[in-house]
Chains A and B, each alone.
Chain A
Protein backbone atom coordinates (compact mmCIF):
# COMPACT_ATOMS: atom_id res chain seq x y z
CA UNK A 1 0.00 0.00 0.00
CA UNK A 2 1.48 3.35 -1.00
CA UNK A 3 1.75 6.12 1.58
CA UNK A 4 1.23 5.98 5.31
CA UNK A 5 -1.76 4.07 6.64
CA UNK A 6 -1.88 6.05 9.88
CA UNK A 7 -1.27 9.78 9.97
CA UNK A 8 -1.12 11.82 13.12
CA UNK A 9 -0.64 15.58 13.03
CA UNK A 10 0.26 17.57 16.13
CA UNK A 11 -1.64 15.06 18.21
CA UNK A 12 -2.00 15.93 21.88
CA UNK A 13 -3.98 14.40 24.67
CA UNK A 14 -4.39 15.71 28.18
CA UNK A 15 -5.87 14.04 31.22
CA UNK A 16 -6.61 17.01 33.41
CA UNK A 17 -3.23 18.63 33.97
CA UNK A 18 -1.29 15.55 32.88
CA UNK A 19 -0.09 15.40 29.31
CA UNK A 20 -0.21 11.88 27.88
CA UNK A 21 0.77 12.91 24.33
CA UNK A 22 2.40 16.12 23.16
CA UNK A 23 2.51 17.33 19.55
CA UNK A 24 2.90 13.89 18.05
CA UNK A 25 3.54 13.90 14.31
CA UNK A 26 3.57 10.41 12.89
CA UNK A 27 3.30 8.69 9.56
CA UNK A 28 3.07 4.96 10.01
CA UNK A 29 3.62 2.95 6.84
CA UNK A 30 2.27 -0.49 5.97
CA UNK A 31 4.23 -3.38 7.46
CA UNK A 32 5.22 -4.02 11.05
CA UNK A 33 5.57 -1.00 13.28
CA UNK A 34 6.68 -1.18 16.87
CA UNK A 35 5.74 1.47 19.40
CA UNK A 36 8.54 1.47 21.86
CA UNK A 37 8.63 3.22 25.18
CA UNK A 38 8.64 2.72 28.91
CA UNK A 39 5.41 2.44 30.90
CA UNK A 40 3.57 5.76 30.84
CA UNK A 41 5.20 6.87 27.59
CA UNK A 42 1.83 7.36 25.90
CA UNK A 43 1.72 4.18 23.79
CA UNK A 44 -1.72 3.07 24.93
CA UNK A 45 -3.13 6.57 24.64
CA UNK A 46 -1.81 6.79 21.09
CA UNK A 47 -3.32 3.41 20.18
CA UNK A 48 -6.65 4.38 21.73
CA UNK A 49 -6.72 7.57 19.70
CA UNK A 50 -5.82 5.63 16.56
CA UNK A 51 -8.70 3.24 17.28
CA UNK A 52 -11.12 6.09 17.96
CA UNK A 53 -11.73 5.12 21.57
CA UNK A 54 -10.62 8.46 22.91
CA UNK A 55 -10.62 11.83 21.28
CA UNK A 56 -7.40 13.81 20.97
CA UNK A 57 -7.34 17.07 22.93
CA UNK A 58 -5.91 18.66 19.80
CA UNK A 59 -4.47 17.61 16.47
CA UNK A 60 -5.65 15.07 13.92
CA UNK A 61 -5.47 11.35 13.44
CA UNK A 62 -6.56 9.43 10.37
CA UNK A 63 -6.42 5.73 9.59
CA UNK A 64 -6.72 4.82 5.90
CA UNK A 65 -7.67 8.47 5.42
CA UNK A 66 -10.67 8.24 7.77
CA UNK A 67 -11.22 9.72 11.20
CA UNK A 68 -11.75 6.72 13.49
CA UNK A 69 -13.64 8.86 16.02
CA UNK A 70 -16.42 9.71 13.58
CA UNK A 71 -16.30 7.10 10.83
CA UNK A 72 -16.96 3.65 12.24
CA UNK A 73 -16.64 2.03 8.79
CA UNK A 74 -12.86 2.15 9.26
CA UNK A 75 -13.20 -0.64 11.83
CA UNK A 76 -13.93 -3.10 9.05
CA UNK A 77 -10.21 -2.76 8.30
CA UNK A 78 -8.90 -2.49 11.87
CA UNK A 79 -8.46 -5.14 14.51
CA UNK A 80 -7.53 -4.04 18.01
CA UNK A 81 -6.30 -5.96 21.01
CA UNK A 82 -6.11 -3.83 24.13
CA UNK A 83 -3.69 -4.25 27.01
CA UNK A 84 -6.56 -4.43 29.50
CA UNK A 85 -6.79 -7.85 31.04
CA UNK A 86 -10.53 -8.02 30.52
CA UNK A 87 -13.00 -10.14 28.59
CA UNK A 88 -16.78 -10.46 28.58
CA UNK A 89 -17.62 -12.78 31.42
CA UNK A 90 -20.10 -15.66 31.47
CA UNK A 91 -19.32 -16.43 27.83
CA UNK A 92 -17.02 -18.96 26.24
CA UNK A 93 -14.07 -17.82 24.13
CA UNK A 94 -15.92 -19.04 21.03
CA UNK A 95 -19.03 -17.05 21.94
CA UNK A 96 -17.00 -13.89 22.53
CA UNK A 97 -15.17 -14.14 19.22
CA UNK A 98 -18.31 -15.17 17.28
CA UNK A 99 -20.28 -12.27 18.76
CA UNK A 100 -17.58 -9.78 17.77
CA UNK A 101 -17.45 -11.29 14.27
CA UNK A 102 -21.21 -10.85 13.97
CA UNK A 103 -20.89 -7.29 15.20
CA UNK A 104 -18.39 -6.75 12.38
CA UNK A 105 -21.19 -7.61 9.97
CA UNK A 106 -20.77 -11.31 9.24
CA UNK A 107 -23.80 -13.63 9.15
CA UNK A 108 -24.11 -16.25 11.86
CA UNK A 109 -22.60 -19.20 9.96
CA UNK A 110 -19.67 -17.26 8.57
CA UNK A 111 -19.02 -15.64 11.95
CA UNK A 112 -18.82 -19.10 13.55
CA UNK A 113 -16.39 -20.29 10.88
CA UNK A 114 -14.23 -17.22 11.25
CA UNK A 115 -14.25 -17.51 15.02
CA UNK A 116 -13.08 -21.11 14.83
CA UNK A 117 -10.28 -20.13 12.41
CA UNK A 118 -9.04 -17.18 14.45
CA UNK A 119 -9.18 -19.14 17.71
CA UNK A 120 -7.05 -21.76 15.98
CA UNK A 121 -4.60 -19.08 14.83
CA UNK A 122 -4.35 -17.72 18.38
CA UNK A 123 -3.84 -21.21 19.78
CA UNK A 124 -7.12 -21.22 21.68
CA UNK A 125 -8.93 -24.15 20.04
CA UNK A 126 -8.50 -26.53 22.99
CA UNK A 127 -10.05 -23.94 25.33
CA UNK A 128 -12.53 -22.37 22.94
CA UNK A 129 -15.61 -23.75 24.68
CA UNK A 130 -14.56 -22.88 28.21
CA UNK A 131 -16.00 -19.93 30.12
CA UNK A 132 -13.70 -16.92 30.03
CA UNK A 133 -14.05 -16.48 33.79
CA UNK A 134 -11.90 -19.58 34.24
CA UNK A 135 -9.17 -18.34 31.91
CA UNK A 136 -5.60 -17.50 32.84
CA UNK A 137 -4.19 -14.13 31.85
CA UNK A 138 -2.45 -15.68 28.87
CA UNK A 139 -5.64 -17.37 27.67
CA UNK A 140 -7.57 -14.12 27.92
CA UNK A 141 -4.84 -12.42 25.91
CA UNK A 142 -4.99 -15.10 23.21
CA UNK A 143 -8.78 -14.79 23.08
CA UNK A 144 -8.49 -11.02 22.60
CA UNK A 145 -5.95 -11.59 19.83
CA UNK A 146 -8.39 -14.04 18.18
CA UNK A 147 -11.12 -11.40 18.44
CA UNK A 148 -8.85 -8.82 16.82
CA UNK A 149 -8.17 -11.16 13.89
CA UNK A 150 -11.67 -12.56 13.36
CA UNK A 151 -12.80 -10.11 10.67
CA UNK A 152 -9.53 -10.36 8.68
CA UNK A 153 -8.55 -6.70 9.09
CA UNK A 154 -5.81 -5.16 6.97
CA UNK A 155 -4.40 -3.37 10.02
CA UNK A 156 -4.00 -4.93 13.43
CA UNK A 157 -3.13 -2.89 16.48
CA UNK A 158 -1.85 -4.82 19.46
CA UNK A 159 -1.31 -3.01 22.74
CA UNK A 160 1.35 -4.84 24.74
CA UNK A 161 0.37 -8.18 23.15
CA UNK A 162 3.03 -10.15 25.00
CA UNK A 163 1.78 -9.13 28.45
CA UNK A 164 0.84 -12.13 30.54
CA UNK A 165 2.23 -14.65 28.10
CA UNK A 166 4.88 -17.22 28.97
CA UNK A 167 8.05 -17.40 26.82
CA UNK A 168 6.42 -19.86 24.41
CA UNK A 169 3.38 -17.61 24.13
CA UNK A 170 5.56 -14.57 23.48
CA UNK A 171 7.41 -16.42 20.76
CA UNK A 172 4.07 -17.51 19.25
CA UNK A 173 2.80 -13.92 19.17
CA UNK A 174 5.97 -12.66 17.51
CA UNK A 175 5.68 -15.49 15.00
CA UNK A 176 2.02 -14.58 14.44
CA UNK A 177 3.00 -10.95 13.83
CA UNK A 178 5.54 -12.09 11.24
CA UNK A 179 3.00 -14.39 9.56
CA UNK A 180 0.37 -11.65 9.41
CA UNK A 181 2.87 -9.23 7.90
CA UNK A 182 3.95 -11.84 5.37
CA UNK A 183 0.29 -12.24 4.38
CA UNK A 184 0.03 -8.49 3.73
CA UNK A 185 -1.53 -7.37 7.01
CA UNK A 186 -0.03 -4.33 8.65
CA UNK A 187 0.67 -4.67 12.34
CA UNK A 188 1.27 -1.94 14.88
CA UNK A 189 2.20 -3.20 18.29
CA UNK A 190 3.42 -1.56 21.43
CA UNK A 191 5.89 -2.89 23.88
CA UNK A 192 8.24 -1.69 26.53
CA UNK A 193 10.38 -4.77 25.99
CA UNK A 194 12.96 -3.64 23.53
CA UNK A 195 14.16 -6.86 21.98
CA UNK A 196 10.58 -7.81 21.08
CA UNK A 197 10.25 -4.68 18.98
CA UNK A 198 13.71 -5.01 17.50
CA UNK A 199 13.01 -8.63 16.57
CA UNK A 200 10.09 -8.03 14.22
CA UNK A 201 9.40 -4.35 13.58
CA UNK A 202 10.62 -2.80 10.36
CA UNK A 203 9.48 0.61 11.54
CA UNK A 204 9.97 1.79 15.09
CA UNK A 205 8.46 4.74 16.90
CA UNK A 206 10.14 5.59 20.17
CA UNK A 207 7.85 7.38 22.63
CA UNK A 208 8.78 8.91 25.93
CA UNK A 209 6.75 11.24 28.14
CA UNK A 210 4.17 11.52 25.36
CA UNK A 211 6.66 12.69 22.76
CA UNK A 212 8.14 10.96 19.75
CA UNK A 213 11.87 10.67 20.40
CA UNK A 214 12.66 8.91 17.13
CA UNK A 215 10.91 7.30 14.21
CA UNK A 216 12.11 5.08 11.39
CA UNK A 217 13.83 1.76 10.92
CA UNK A 218 16.28 0.65 13.56
CA UNK A 219 19.12 1.49 11.14
CA UNK A 220 17.73 4.98 10.55
CA UNK A 221 17.38 5.61 14.24
CA UNK A 222 20.95 4.43 14.73
CA UNK A 223 22.13 6.70 11.92
CA UNK A 224 20.48 9.63 13.67
CA UNK A 225 22.55 8.78 16.67
CA UNK A 226 25.73 8.09 14.79
CA UNK A 227 27.91 10.49 16.71
CA UNK A 228 27.62 8.82 20.02
CA UNK A 229 30.33 7.01 21.97
CA UNK A 230 30.69 3.67 20.34
CA UNK A 231 32.58 0.44 20.95
CA UNK A 232 33.30 -2.28 18.43
CA UNK A 233 35.06 -5.62 18.63
CA UNK A 234 37.24 -6.58 15.71
CA UNK A 235 38.68 -10.00 14.97
CA UNK A 236 41.56 -9.86 12.52
CA UNK A 237 44.84 -11.57 11.68
CA UNK A 238 47.00 -8.95 13.47
CA UNK A 239 45.15 -7.18 16.25
CA UNK A 240 48.24 -5.52 17.74
CA UNK A 241 49.27 -3.84 14.47
CA UNK A 242 45.72 -2.69 13.78
CA UNK A 243 45.54 -1.28 17.31
CA UNK A 244 48.65 0.80 16.64
CA UNK A 245 47.12 2.29 13.51
CA UNK A 246 43.78 2.95 15.17
CA UNK A 247 45.49 4.51 18.17
CA UNK A 248 46.80 7.25 15.96
CA UNK A 249 43.29 8.42 15.17
CA UNK A 250 42.21 11.31 17.37
CA UNK A 251 38.62 10.12 17.85
CA UNK A 252 39.68 6.68 19.16
CA UNK A 253 39.48 6.87 22.94
CA UNK A 254 40.13 3.31 24.13
CA UNK A 255 41.94 0.28 22.77
CA UNK A 256 41.88 -3.12 24.41
CA UNK A 257 43.77 -6.00 22.85
CA UNK A 258 42.11 -9.31 23.69
CA UNK A 259 44.67 -11.81 22.50
CA UNK A 260 46.45 -12.07 19.17
CA UNK A 261 43.42 -11.73 16.95
CA UNK A 262 40.90 -9.72 18.90
CA UNK A 263 40.62 -6.02 19.60
CA UNK A 264 38.08 -3.75 21.27
CA UNK A 265 38.00 -0.18 20.02
CA UNK A 266 36.19 2.66 21.72
CA UNK A 267 35.49 5.99 20.04
CA UNK A 268 33.70 9.19 20.94
CA UNK A 269 32.22 9.27 17.43
CA UNK A 270 30.67 6.18 15.90
CA UNK A 271 30.31 7.93 12.57
CA UNK A 272 34.01 8.83 12.32
CA UNK A 273 35.20 5.41 13.47
CA UNK A 274 32.95 3.53 11.03
CA UNK A 275 34.04 5.83 8.19
CA UNK A 276 37.76 5.54 8.93
CA UNK A 277 37.93 1.78 9.51
CA UNK A 278 37.29 0.35 6.01
CA UNK A 279 40.00 2.38 4.12
CA UNK A 280 42.49 1.72 6.91
CA UNK A 281 41.89 -2.03 6.78
CA UNK A 282 42.05 -2.16 2.97
CA UNK A 283 45.17 -0.03 2.83
CA UNK A 284 47.09 -2.15 5.35
CA UNK A 285 45.74 -5.41 3.96
CA UNK A 286 44.34 -6.82 7.21
CA UNK A 287 42.12 -9.84 7.10
CA UNK A 288 39.05 -9.12 9.18
CA UNK A 289 36.98 -12.12 10.24
CA UNK A 290 34.40 -10.36 12.42
CA UNK A 291 33.22 -6.91 13.42
CA UNK A 292 30.59 -6.65 16.11
CA UNK A 293 29.08 -3.91 18.21
CA UNK A 294 28.00 -5.66 21.42
CA UNK A 295 26.57 -2.49 22.93
CA UNK A 296 24.42 -1.66 19.90
CA UNK A 297 21.23 -3.39 20.94
CA UNK A 298 17.84 -1.76 20.61
CA UNK A 299 18.07 -1.22 24.34
CA UNK A 300 21.28 0.77 23.98
CA UNK A 301 19.74 2.88 21.24
CA UNK A 302 16.69 3.47 23.42
CA UNK A 303 18.79 4.48 26.41
CA UNK A 304 20.71 6.95 24.27
CA UNK A 305 17.47 8.41 22.93
CA UNK A 306 16.26 8.94 26.45
CA UNK A 307 19.42 10.90 27.24
Chain B
Protein backbone atom coordinates (compact mmCIF):
# COMPACT_ATOMS: atom_id res chain seq x y z
CA UNK B 1 0.00 0.00 0.00
CA UNK B 2 1.35 3.37 -1.08
CA UNK B 3 -0.16 5.15 1.93
CA UNK B 4 1.77 2.87 4.31
CA UNK B 5 5.00 3.85 2.57
CA UNK B 6 4.37 7.56 3.08
CA UNK B 7 3.17 6.93 6.60
CA UNK B 8 6.51 5.31 7.41
CA UNK B 9 8.40 8.06 5.56
CA UNK B 10 6.58 10.77 7.53
CA UNK B 11 7.19 8.85 10.73
CA UNK B 12 10.88 8.58 9.84
CA UNK B 13 11.06 12.33 9.20
CA UNK B 14 9.38 13.05 12.49
CA UNK B 15 11.60 10.61 14.30
CA UNK B 16 14.74 12.17 12.86
CA UNK B 17 13.55 15.73 13.29
CA UNK B 18 13.13 15.20 17.01
CA UNK B 19 16.64 13.91 17.42
CA UNK B 20 19.85 15.76 18.21
CA UNK B 21 21.03 14.29 14.97
CA UNK B 22 19.03 16.87 12.99
CA UNK B 23 20.84 19.75 14.67
CA UNK B 24 24.21 18.20 13.79
CA UNK B 25 23.05 17.54 10.22
CA UNK B 26 21.78 21.12 9.85
CA UNK B 27 25.09 22.52 11.13
CA UNK B 28 26.91 20.27 8.69
CA UNK B 29 24.73 21.55 5.83
CA UNK B 30 25.46 25.15 6.75
CA UNK B 31 29.22 24.52 6.98
CA UNK B 32 30.05 25.39 3.32
CA UNK B 33 28.15 28.69 3.51
CA UNK B 34 29.90 29.51 6.77
CA UNK B 35 33.33 28.71 5.35
CA UNK B 36 32.62 30.80 2.25
CA UNK B 37 31.58 33.70 4.44
CA UNK B 38 34.79 33.46 6.47
CA UNK B 39 36.98 33.22 3.34
CA UNK B 40 35.26 36.17 1.75
CA UNK B 41 35.58 38.15 4.96
CA UNK B 42 39.28 37.54 5.56
CA UNK B 43 40.49 36.60 2.06
CA UNK B 44 41.98 38.93 -0.54
CA UNK B 45 39.79 40.79 -3.00
CA UNK B 46 39.02 38.63 -6.03
CA UNK B 47 39.06 35.42 -4.02
CA UNK B 48 35.28 35.25 -4.18
CA UNK B 49 35.20 34.26 -7.87
CA UNK B 50 37.58 31.40 -7.21
CA UNK B 51 35.58 30.26 -4.20
CA UNK B 52 32.42 30.24 -6.30
CA UNK B 53 34.12 28.40 -9.14
CA UNK B 54 35.86 25.63 -7.23
CA UNK B 55 35.47 25.98 -3.48
CA UNK B 56 31.69 25.91 -3.25
CA UNK B 57 30.99 22.85 -5.44
CA UNK B 58 33.74 20.76 -3.87
CA UNK B 59 32.76 21.72 -0.36
CA UNK B 60 29.09 21.04 -1.08
CA UNK B 61 29.88 17.64 -2.61
CA UNK B 62 31.93 16.64 0.42
CA UNK B 63 29.28 17.84 2.86
CA UNK B 64 26.54 16.04 0.91
CA UNK B 65 28.51 12.80 1.24
CA UNK B 66 28.83 13.32 4.98
CA UNK B 67 25.15 14.24 5.35
CA UNK B 68 24.06 11.16 3.45
CA UNK B 69 26.39 9.03 5.56
CA UNK B 70 25.02 10.54 8.73
CA UNK B 71 21.36 10.14 7.82
CA UNK B 72 21.45 7.07 5.55
CA UNK B 73 23.37 4.71 7.83
CA UNK B 74 21.11 5.44 10.76
CA UNK B 75 17.69 5.45 9.10
CA UNK B 76 17.02 1.85 10.15
CA UNK B 77 19.79 1.26 12.65
CA UNK B 78 18.68 4.03 15.00
CA UNK B 79 15.32 2.30 15.50
CA UNK B 80 17.12 -1.00 15.90
CA UNK B 81 19.38 0.42 18.57
CA UNK B 82 16.48 2.15 20.31
CA UNK B 83 14.76 -1.25 20.26
CA UNK B 84 11.60 0.23 18.77
CA UNK B 85 11.90 -1.44 15.38
CA UNK B 86 9.94 -4.45 16.67
CA UNK B 87 6.87 -2.22 17.01
CA UNK B 88 7.01 -1.56 13.26
CA UNK B 89 8.00 -5.08 12.23
CA UNK B 90 4.93 -6.54 13.92
CA UNK B 91 2.52 -4.54 11.77
CA UNK B 92 1.11 -5.71 8.45
CA UNK B 93 3.78 -4.01 6.37
CA UNK B 94 6.49 -5.82 4.43
CA UNK B 95 10.09 -5.44 5.52
CA UNK B 96 11.01 -4.07 2.10
CA UNK B 97 8.35 -1.35 2.26
CA UNK B 98 9.27 -0.49 5.82
CA UNK B 99 12.95 -0.15 4.94
CA UNK B 100 12.10 1.85 1.81
CA UNK B 101 9.83 4.19 3.77
CA UNK B 102 12.62 4.90 6.25
CA UNK B 103 15.11 5.32 3.41
CA UNK B 104 12.72 7.78 1.79
CA UNK B 105 12.64 9.88 4.96
CA UNK B 106 16.45 9.93 5.15
CA UNK B 107 16.59 10.80 1.44
CA UNK B 108 14.11 13.68 1.78
CA UNK B 109 16.00 15.10 4.74
CA UNK B 110 19.46 14.77 3.23
CA UNK B 111 18.23 16.22 -0.09
CA UNK B 112 16.60 19.16 1.64
CA UNK B 113 19.60 19.93 3.84
CA UNK B 114 22.18 19.40 1.10
CA UNK B 115 20.23 21.49 -1.45
CA UNK B 116 19.58 24.24 1.06
CA UNK B 117 23.24 24.29 2.08
CA UNK B 118 24.38 24.36 -1.57
CA UNK B 119 21.95 27.11 -2.54
CA UNK B 120 22.96 29.19 0.46
CA UNK B 121 26.68 28.67 -0.22
CA UNK B 122 26.14 29.66 -3.86
CA UNK B 123 24.22 32.75 -2.83
CA UNK B 124 26.80 33.76 -0.22
CA UNK B 125 29.70 33.27 -2.63
CA UNK B 126 28.11 34.82 -5.71
CA UNK B 127 26.84 38.07 -4.22
CA UNK B 128 28.70 40.87 -5.95
CA UNK B 129 31.02 38.53 -7.90
CA UNK B 130 29.42 38.64 -11.32
CA UNK B 131 28.39 42.25 -11.63
CA UNK B 132 28.17 41.83 -15.38
CA UNK B 133 25.75 38.88 -15.19
CA UNK B 134 22.14 39.63 -14.28
CA UNK B 135 21.61 36.30 -12.55
CA UNK B 136 23.75 33.21 -12.16
CA UNK B 137 20.56 31.10 -11.82
CA UNK B 138 21.46 28.38 -14.39
CA UNK B 139 24.69 27.64 -12.53
CA UNK B 140 22.87 27.59 -9.21
CA UNK B 141 20.26 25.18 -10.59
CA UNK B 142 22.99 22.96 -12.00
CA UNK B 143 24.77 22.87 -8.65
CA UNK B 144 21.61 22.21 -6.63
CA UNK B 145 20.41 19.58 -9.13
CA UNK B 146 23.74 17.76 -9.02
CA UNK B 147 23.80 17.91 -5.22
CA UNK B 148 20.27 16.45 -5.08
CA UNK B 149 21.34 13.61 -7.35
CA UNK B 150 24.36 12.88 -5.17
CA UNK B 151 22.27 13.04 -1.99
CA UNK B 152 19.85 10.45 -3.41
CA UNK B 153 22.55 8.02 -4.55
CA UNK B 154 24.69 8.42 -1.44
CA UNK B 155 21.77 8.08 1.00
CA UNK B 156 20.71 4.84 -0.70
CA UNK B 157 24.29 3.58 -0.67
CA UNK B 158 24.80 4.34 3.01
CA UNK B 159 21.37 2.99 3.95
CA UNK B 160 22.36 -0.27 2.25
CA UNK B 161 25.65 -0.32 4.15
CA UNK B 162 23.64 0.38 7.32
CA UNK B 163 21.42 -2.61 6.64
CA UNK B 164 24.34 -4.89 5.90
CA UNK B 165 27.01 -3.99 8.45
CA UNK B 166 27.04 -3.20 12.14
CA UNK B 167 29.96 -0.77 11.88
CA UNK B 168 28.24 1.05 9.05
CA UNK B 169 29.41 4.56 9.92
CA UNK B 170 33.04 3.47 9.98
CA UNK B 171 32.58 1.67 6.67
CA UNK B 172 30.86 4.74 5.24
CA UNK B 173 33.82 6.92 6.19
CA UNK B 174 36.15 4.35 4.64
CA UNK B 175 34.04 4.48 1.46
CA UNK B 176 34.28 8.29 1.35
CA UNK B 177 38.05 8.19 1.72
CA UNK B 178 38.92 5.17 -0.40
CA UNK B 179 36.35 5.29 -3.21
CA UNK B 180 35.30 8.92 -3.38
CA UNK B 181 38.55 10.65 -2.50
CA UNK B 182 40.97 7.95 -3.70
CA UNK B 183 39.46 6.03 -6.59
CA UNK B 184 37.51 9.10 -7.77
CA UNK B 185 40.81 10.97 -8.24
CA UNK B 186 42.49 8.28 -10.33
CA UNK B 187 41.80 8.61 -14.05
CA UNK B 188 40.42 5.38 -15.42
CA UNK B 189 37.21 3.39 -15.73
CA UNK B 190 37.20 2.44 -12.02
CA UNK B 191 36.22 6.03 -11.36
CA UNK B 192 32.62 5.23 -12.28
CA UNK B 193 32.33 3.57 -8.86
CA UNK B 194 32.56 7.00 -7.28
CA UNK B 195 29.24 8.90 -7.32
CA UNK B 196 30.99 12.14 -6.40
CA UNK B 197 33.32 11.77 -9.40
CA UNK B 198 30.28 11.27 -11.65
CA UNK B 199 28.56 14.34 -10.22
CA UNK B 200 31.77 16.29 -10.79
CA UNK B 201 31.55 15.31 -14.46
CA UNK B 202 28.02 16.74 -14.56
CA UNK B 203 29.21 19.99 -12.96
CA UNK B 204 32.08 20.34 -15.42
CA UNK B 205 32.93 22.70 -17.09
CA UNK B 206 30.71 25.24 -15.30
CA UNK B 207 32.51 24.54 -12.06
CA UNK B 208 36.11 23.61 -11.44
CA UNK B 209 36.28 20.06 -10.14
CA UNK B 210 38.64 17.09 -10.52
CA UNK B 211 36.76 16.18 -13.72
CA UNK B 212 37.20 19.56 -15.35
CA UNK B 213 40.91 19.69 -14.46
CA UNK B 214 41.50 16.27 -16.01
CA UNK B 215 39.33 17.11 -18.98
CA UNK B 216 41.51 20.13 -19.66
CA UNK B 217 44.62 17.97 -19.32
CA UNK B 218 43.22 15.53 -21.87
CA UNK B 219 43.14 12.72 -19.30
CA UNK B 220 40.19 10.49 -18.54
CA UNK B 221 36.87 12.33 -18.44
CA UNK B 222 33.24 11.22 -18.59
CA UNK B 223 30.62 13.26 -20.42
CA UNK B 224 27.74 14.65 -18.30
CA UNK B 225 25.24 12.39 -20.09
CA UNK B 226 27.33 9.28 -19.45
CA UNK B 227 27.74 10.36 -15.83
CA UNK B 228 23.97 10.75 -15.50
CA UNK B 229 23.42 7.27 -16.94
CA UNK B 230 26.04 5.79 -14.61
CA UNK B 231 24.36 7.42 -11.60
CA UNK B 232 20.91 6.21 -12.71
CA UNK B 233 22.18 2.64 -13.14
CA UNK B 234 24.03 2.83 -9.82
CA UNK B 235 20.90 4.08 -8.03
CA UNK B 236 18.77 1.30 -9.54
CA UNK B 237 21.26 -1.37 -8.48
CA UNK B 238 21.54 0.09 -4.98
CA UNK B 239 17.75 0.22 -4.59
CA UNK B 240 17.36 -3.38 -5.75
CA UNK B 241 20.08 -4.53 -3.34
CA UNK B 242 18.53 -2.47 -0.55
CA UNK B 243 15.11 -4.04 -1.09
CA UNK B 244 16.50 -7.54 -1.37
CA UNK B 245 18.54 -7.11 1.77
CA UNK B 246 15.61 -5.62 3.70
CA UNK B 247 13.21 -8.36 2.61
CA UNK B 248 15.51 -11.12 3.87
CA UNK B 249 16.92 -9.35 6.86
CA UNK B 250 16.68 -10.66 10.38
CA UNK B 251 16.69 -7.13 11.78
CA UNK B 252 16.80 -7.84 15.47
CA UNK B 253 19.58 -10.41 15.22
CA UNK B 254 21.63 -7.84 13.37
CA UNK B 255 21.72 -5.95 16.63
CA UNK B 256 22.71 -8.96 18.66
CA UNK B 257 26.31 -9.86 19.19
CA UNK B 258 27.56 -13.25 18.17
CA UNK B 259 28.09 -14.06 21.83
CA UNK B 260 24.45 -14.18 22.75
CA UNK B 261 21.06 -12.46 22.88
Selected contact of A18 from candidates B86, B251, B252, B260, CB within 8 Å: B260
Which chain B residues in 239-261 approach chain A with CB under 8 Å? 250-253, 256-261
**CA gap between A75 and B251 in the complex, in Å:** 17
Q: How far is the CB of B231 from chain A (nearest CB, A)?
A: 32
Contacts of B256 in A (CB 8 A): 15
User: Which of the 9-residue segments A1-9, A49-57, A172-180, A252-260 touches chain B?
Assistant: A49-57
Binds A, one of B47-55, B91-99, B109-117, B151-159: B91-99
A55 touches B260 (CB 8 A): no
Q: Are B260 and A103 in contact (CB under 8 A)?
A: no
Q: Are B92 and A104 in contact (CB under 8 A)?
A: yes
**Are B261 and A18 closer than 8 Å at their CB atoms?**
yes
Measured between C-beta atoms, what is the minimum distance from A164 to chain B in Å?
Answer: 14
Which residue of the partner chain A has the closest CB to B91?
Answer: A103
* A18-B261, A44-B261, A53-B252 known; A90+B18 contact, CB < 8 A: yes
Chain A residue with the shortest CB-CB distance to B81: A86
- The chain B residue with its CB closest to the CB of A20 is B261
Please tell me if A48 contacts chain B, counting CB pairs below 8 Å: yes
Do A54 and B250 have beta carbons less than 8 Å apart? yes
Contact indicator A82/B83 (Cβ below 8 Å): yes
Contact: B92 with A87, CB < 8 Å? Answer: no
B82 nearest CB across to chain A (Å): 5
> Is A188 on the interface with B (CB-CB < 8 A)?
no
Chain B contact residues, majority secondary structure: loop
Interface range on chain A (Cβ under 8 Å from partner): 35 or more
B8 in the interface (beta carbon within 8 A) = yes
Asked if B1 is an interface residue, CB under 8 A from chain A, the answer is yes
Q: B84's contact among A44, A53, A88, A102, by CB below 8 Å, is which? A: A88
Closest chain B residue to A18, Cβ basis: B260
Minimum CB–CB distance for B152 against chain A, Å: 25
Given contacts A16-B257, A104-B92, contact A53 B86 (CB under 8 A): yes
Given A86-B84, A99-B7, decide whether A51 and B90 contact each other with a Cβ distance below 8 A.
yes
- The listed residue (B19, B86, B250, B261) touching A84 by CB distance below 8 A is B86
Contact of B260 among A15, A48, A89, A90 (CB under 8 A): A15
Q: Are B259 and A15 in contact (CB under 8 A)?
A: yes
Q: How far is the CA of A51 from the CA of B85 in the complex (A)?
A: 13
Least CB distance from A152 to B in Å reads 13
Which of B90, B250, B259 has the most A CB atoms < 10 Å from its CB?
Answer: B90
Residue from A48, A91, A103 within 8 A of B88 (CB atoms) = A103
Residues of A within 8 A of B177 (CB): none
B65-93 CB mask vs A (1 if < 8 Å, else 0) is 00000000000000000111011111111
A-chain residues with CB within 8 Å of residue B92 when the two chains form the complex:
72-76, 103-105
5 pairs across A/B with beta carbons < 8 Å?
A51-B89, A88-B84, A91-B18, A102-B7, A105-B92
Residues in A lying within 8 Å of B, measured CB to CB: 15-18, 20, 44-45, 48, 51-55, 72-76, 78-80, 82, 84, 86-91, 99-100, 102-105, 144, 147
